Chain A
Amino acid sequence: QVQLVQSGAEVKKPGASVKVSCKASGYTFTGYYMHWVRQAPGQGLEWMGWINPNSGGTNYAQKFQGRVTMTRDTSISTAYMELSRLRSDDTAVYYCARVEDTAMVNGGDYWGQGTLVTVSS
Protein backbone atom coordinates (compact mmCIF):
# COMPACT_ATOMS: atom_id res chain seq x y z
CA GLN A 1 0.00 0.00 0.00
CA VAL A 2 1.11 3.53 -0.74
CA GLN A 3 2.61 5.32 2.24
CA LEU A 4 4.34 8.65 2.75
CA VAL A 5 6.10 8.84 6.10
CA GLN A 6 7.52 12.18 7.19
CA SER A 7 10.19 13.05 9.70
CA GLY A 8 9.41 14.18 13.22
CA ALA A 9 8.58 17.54 14.69
CA GLU A 10 11.25 20.25 14.76
CA VAL A 11 11.84 23.33 16.87
CA LYS A 12 14.05 25.97 15.30
CA LYS A 13 15.21 29.47 16.12
CA PRO A 14 14.49 32.39 13.81
CA GLY A 15 17.05 32.57 11.03
CA ALA A 16 17.80 28.84 11.11
CA SER A 17 16.96 26.23 8.46
CA VAL A 18 14.86 23.08 8.65
CA LYS A 19 14.87 20.01 6.42
CA VAL A 20 11.81 17.78 6.37
CA SER A 21 11.90 14.33 4.79
CA CYS A 22 9.14 12.32 3.17
CA LYS A 23 9.83 8.61 2.61
CA ALA A 24 7.66 6.95 -0.01
CA SER A 25 6.77 3.27 -0.26
CA GLY A 26 4.31 1.07 -2.08
CA TYR A 27 4.72 2.66 -5.52
CA THR A 28 7.35 3.70 -8.03
CA PHE A 29 8.83 6.81 -6.43
CA THR A 30 9.99 8.29 -9.73
CA GLY A 31 6.58 7.91 -11.34
CA TYR A 32 4.84 10.74 -9.47
CA TYR A 33 5.55 14.35 -8.53
CA MET A 34 5.90 15.24 -4.88
CA HIS A 35 4.21 18.45 -3.82
CA TRP A 36 4.64 20.24 -0.52
CA VAL A 37 1.81 22.05 1.26
CA ARG A 38 1.89 23.76 4.63
CA GLN A 39 -0.74 24.72 7.19
CA ALA A 40 -0.16 27.31 9.90
CA PRO A 41 -1.92 26.68 13.23
CA GLY A 42 -5.65 27.13 12.84
CA GLN A 43 -5.22 28.28 9.26
CA GLY A 44 -5.83 26.95 5.77
CA LEU A 45 -3.60 25.14 3.29
CA GLU A 46 -0.78 26.83 1.37
CA TRP A 47 0.99 25.29 -1.64
CA MET A 48 4.78 25.56 -1.67
CA GLY A 49 5.90 23.77 -4.82
CA TRP A 50 6.88 20.42 -6.29
CA ILE A 51 9.78 18.21 -7.21
CA ASN A 52 9.92 15.69 -10.02
CA PRO A 53 11.69 12.73 -8.38
CA ASN A 54 12.64 11.34 -11.79
CA SER A 55 14.53 14.37 -13.10
CA GLY A 56 15.05 16.36 -9.93
CA GLY A 57 13.34 19.32 -11.56
CA THR A 58 11.53 21.69 -9.23
CA ASN A 59 9.02 24.51 -9.26
CA TYR A 60 8.48 26.75 -6.25
CA ALA A 61 5.75 29.21 -5.42
CA GLN A 62 7.13 32.71 -5.84
CA LYS A 63 6.49 33.42 -2.17
CA PHE A 64 9.14 30.85 -1.20
CA GLN A 65 11.65 31.44 -3.99
CA GLY A 66 15.13 31.85 -2.57
CA ARG A 67 14.24 30.22 0.75
CA VAL A 68 12.99 26.75 -0.20
CA THR A 69 14.90 23.87 -1.74
CA MET A 70 13.28 20.57 -2.69
CA THR A 71 15.51 17.59 -3.34
CA ARG A 72 15.23 13.83 -3.52
CA ASP A 73 17.24 10.67 -3.04
CA THR A 74 15.90 8.03 -5.40
CA SER A 75 18.03 5.29 -3.79
CA ILE A 76 15.89 5.51 -0.66
CA SER A 77 12.66 6.86 -2.23
CA THR A 78 12.77 9.98 -0.12
CA ALA A 79 11.92 13.59 -0.91
CA TYR A 80 13.14 16.53 1.12
CA MET A 81 11.97 20.08 1.66
CA GLU A 82 14.41 22.54 3.18
CA LEU A 83 13.28 25.99 4.26
CA SER A 84 15.90 28.54 5.27
CA ARG A 85 15.93 31.89 7.07
CA LEU A 86 13.03 30.75 9.20
CA ARG A 87 10.63 33.29 10.68
CA SER A 88 7.96 32.91 13.31
CA ASP A 89 5.27 32.88 10.63
CA ASP A 90 6.85 29.75 9.15
CA THR A 91 5.49 27.84 12.15
CA ALA A 92 3.23 25.29 10.50
CA VAL A 93 2.58 21.66 9.73
CA TYR A 94 4.33 20.74 6.49
CA TYR A 95 2.85 18.00 4.30
CA CYS A 96 4.16 16.11 1.30
CA ALA A 97 1.63 14.81 -1.20
CA ARG A 98 1.91 12.40 -4.12
CA VAL A 99 0.57 13.96 -7.31
CA GLU A 100 0.32 12.78 -10.92
CA ASP A 101 1.20 16.15 -12.43
CA THR A 102 2.65 19.59 -11.81
CA ALA A 103 -0.62 21.44 -11.29
CA MET A 104 -2.46 19.04 -9.00
CA VAL A 105 -5.06 18.64 -11.75
CA ASN A 106 -6.36 15.45 -10.14
CA GLY A 107 -5.33 16.38 -6.63
CA GLY A 108 -2.93 14.76 -4.22
CA ASP A 109 -4.10 11.21 -3.70
CA TYR A 110 -1.75 10.30 -0.84
CA TRP A 111 -0.40 12.62 1.84
CA GLY A 112 2.22 12.31 4.52
CA GLN A 113 1.15 12.56 8.14
CA GLY A 114 2.62 16.05 8.44
CA THR A 115 5.63 17.51 10.23
CA LEU A 116 5.18 20.31 12.74
CA VAL A 117 7.90 22.94 12.48
CA THR A 118 7.90 25.45 15.30
CA VAL A 119 9.99 28.60 14.95
CA SER A 120 10.59 30.27 18.28
CA SER A 121 13.38 32.13 20.01
Chain B
Amino acid sequence: QSVLTQPPSASGTPGQRVTISCSGSSSNIGSNTVNWYQQLPGTAPKLLIYSNNQRPSGVPDRFSGSKSGTSASLAISGLQSEDEADYYCAAWDDSLNVVVFGGGTKLTVL
Protein backbone atom coordinates (compact mmCIF):
# COMPACT_ATOMS: atom_id res chain seq x y z
CA GLN B 1 0.00 0.00 0.00
CA SER B 2 1.71 3.17 -1.20
CA VAL B 3 1.42 6.44 0.70
CA LEU B 4 0.75 8.33 -2.53
CA THR B 5 -2.14 7.02 -4.61
CA GLN B 6 -1.93 6.71 -8.38
CA PRO B 7 -4.19 4.88 -10.82
CA PRO B 8 -2.53 1.59 -11.76
CA SER B 9 -3.05 2.15 -15.45
CA ALA B 10 -3.76 4.78 -18.07
CA SER B 11 -3.98 4.69 -21.83
CA GLY B 12 -4.35 6.86 -24.88
CA THR B 13 -3.88 6.91 -28.62
CA PRO B 14 -1.04 8.70 -30.41
CA GLY B 15 -1.55 12.45 -30.37
CA GLN B 16 -3.96 12.40 -27.44
CA ARG B 17 -3.52 14.11 -24.08
CA VAL B 18 -3.50 11.98 -20.96
CA THR B 19 -3.26 12.89 -17.31
CA ILE B 20 -2.07 10.83 -14.36
CA SER B 21 -3.16 11.77 -10.87
CA CYS B 22 -1.30 11.46 -7.58
CA SER B 23 -3.15 11.86 -4.30
CA GLY B 24 -1.48 12.36 -0.94
CA SER B 25 -2.00 14.15 2.34
CA SER B 26 -1.04 17.27 4.25
CA SER B 27 2.21 15.71 5.44
CA ASN B 28 3.56 15.02 1.97
CA ILE B 29 2.09 16.66 -1.13
CA GLY B 30 0.29 19.24 0.99
CA SER B 31 3.54 20.63 2.39
CA ASN B 32 6.30 19.57 -0.01
CA THR B 33 7.10 19.62 -3.69
CA VAL B 34 6.21 16.76 -6.02
CA ASN B 35 8.51 15.07 -8.49
CA TRP B 36 7.61 12.73 -11.33
CA TYR B 37 9.69 9.93 -12.77
CA GLN B 38 9.41 7.96 -15.98
CA GLN B 39 10.62 4.38 -15.99
CA LEU B 40 10.95 2.60 -19.30
CA PRO B 41 10.96 -1.21 -19.14
CA GLY B 42 14.19 -2.58 -17.70
CA THR B 43 15.73 0.83 -17.05
CA ALA B 44 16.33 3.15 -14.12
CA PRO B 45 13.83 5.89 -13.29
CA LYS B 46 14.35 9.17 -15.10
CA LEU B 47 13.42 12.52 -13.57
CA LEU B 48 10.60 13.97 -15.65
CA ILE B 49 9.20 16.81 -13.54
CA TYR B 50 10.68 18.36 -10.39
CA SER B 51 9.42 20.94 -7.94
CA ASN B 52 5.79 20.36 -9.02
CA ASN B 53 6.05 21.75 -12.53
CA GLN B 54 9.67 22.18 -13.64
CA ARG B 55 11.17 20.19 -16.48
CA PRO B 56 14.85 19.16 -16.44
CA SER B 57 16.71 20.11 -19.58
CA GLY B 58 16.04 17.64 -22.35
CA VAL B 59 12.51 16.74 -21.26
CA PRO B 60 10.03 17.72 -23.98
CA ASP B 61 7.46 20.38 -23.16
CA ARG B 62 4.77 17.79 -23.93
CA PHE B 63 5.22 16.81 -20.29
CA SER B 64 3.81 19.12 -17.62
CA GLY B 65 3.09 18.89 -13.92
CA SER B 66 0.77 20.65 -11.54
CA LYS B 67 -0.14 20.55 -7.87
CA SER B 68 -3.18 21.67 -5.92
CA GLY B 69 -3.61 21.07 -2.22
CA THR B 70 -2.82 17.43 -1.48
CA SER B 71 -2.96 16.25 -5.09
CA ALA B 72 -0.73 16.49 -8.11
CA SER B 73 -1.00 15.50 -11.72
CA LEU B 74 1.18 14.78 -14.70
CA ALA B 75 -0.08 15.66 -18.15
CA ILE B 76 1.32 14.29 -21.40
CA SER B 77 0.15 15.94 -24.60
CA GLY B 78 0.76 14.75 -28.14
CA LEU B 79 1.13 11.19 -26.88
CA GLN B 80 3.82 9.14 -28.63
CA SER B 81 4.55 5.44 -28.65
CA GLU B 82 7.83 6.02 -26.82
CA ASP B 83 5.89 7.45 -23.88
CA GLU B 84 4.77 3.94 -23.00
CA ALA B 85 6.30 3.47 -19.55
CA ASP B 86 5.63 3.44 -15.83
CA TYR B 87 5.22 6.83 -14.15
CA TYR B 88 5.81 7.51 -10.45
CA CYS B 89 5.10 10.54 -8.30
CA ALA B 90 7.21 11.23 -5.20
CA ALA B 91 7.39 13.68 -2.31
CA TRP B 92 8.98 14.05 1.12
CA ASP B 93 6.70 13.09 3.99
CA ASP B 94 7.13 15.23 7.12
CA SER B 95 5.43 12.70 9.42
CA LEU B 96 7.16 9.55 8.20
CA ASN B 97 10.50 11.30 7.51
CA VAL B 98 10.95 9.43 4.27
CA VAL B 99 10.55 10.06 0.58
CA VAL B 100 7.24 8.47 -0.40
CA PHE B 101 6.37 7.24 -3.86
CA GLY B 102 3.14 6.49 -5.60
CA GLY B 103 2.51 2.91 -6.64
CA GLY B 104 3.14 3.79 -10.26
CA THR B 105 0.93 4.14 -13.31
CA LYS B 106 1.51 1.99 -16.36
CA LEU B 107 0.82 4.07 -19.46
CA THR B 108 -0.16 2.21 -22.59
CA VAL B 109 -0.19 3.88 -25.99
CA LEU B 110 -2.86 2.12 -28.01
Q: Which residues of A contact B (CB under 8 A)?
A: 35, 37, 44-47, 61-62, 95, 97, 103-109, 111-114
Contacts and interface: CB of A to CB of B under 8 A. Distances in A.
Interface residues of B, number: 26
B100 interface: yes
A44 B88 contact: yes
B32 A44 contact: no
B47 A107 contact: yes
A105 B47 contact: no
Interface of B: 2, 32-33, 35, 37, 43-47, 50-51, 54, 56, 88, 90, 92, 96-104
B44 A45 contact: no
Nearest to A96: B44
Contact of A104 (B43, B92, B102, B103): B92
Nearest to B90: A104
A106 B51 contact: yes
User: Among the interface residues B32, B33, B98, B100, which one has the most CB atoms of the partner chain A within 10 A?
Assistant: B98
